Amino acid sequence: MEANGEEEVMMEFRNPIPVKTELGEGMAIYVVNSGTFANDIWTIVLNDGTIRHFRTDQITMEKNSTWGIRNKPAL
C-alpha cells in the first residue's frame, strides 16, 4: 500500500501505550505511518474493550509513572 507516494509502515508496540482520546482512555496497540503529509493512524483499545482507529491529532499520551518519571514543576 502507498500513501502520498510513500510506503505505509505498521508498528506494533511490545508494550501498549496509555493514551487519552475523545471517547475516553485506552491503550495504543499499533500505529500505521500514513506518510509525510498525513496523520498516522493509531489503533486504540478503549478501557471498555472497544477497538477504534484515531488520527495522531485525536490522541494524547497519558502520564505513566511506572519508571519514576515525573512531570517537571512549573517555573
Quick one: residue 5, left, alpha or beta (phi over 0 = left, psi -120 to 50 = alpha)?
Answer: left
Mean pLDDT of the chain: 84
Q: pTM for the complete prediction?
A: 0.73
Q: How far apart are CA 8 and CA 49, in angstroms?
A: 27
Predicted confidence (pLDDT) per residue in 55-69, tens digit: 999 999 887 666 665
Assign 4 a pLDDT band (cuts: 50, 70, 90): low
Q: Which three cell numbers stand for residue 74?
A: 512549573
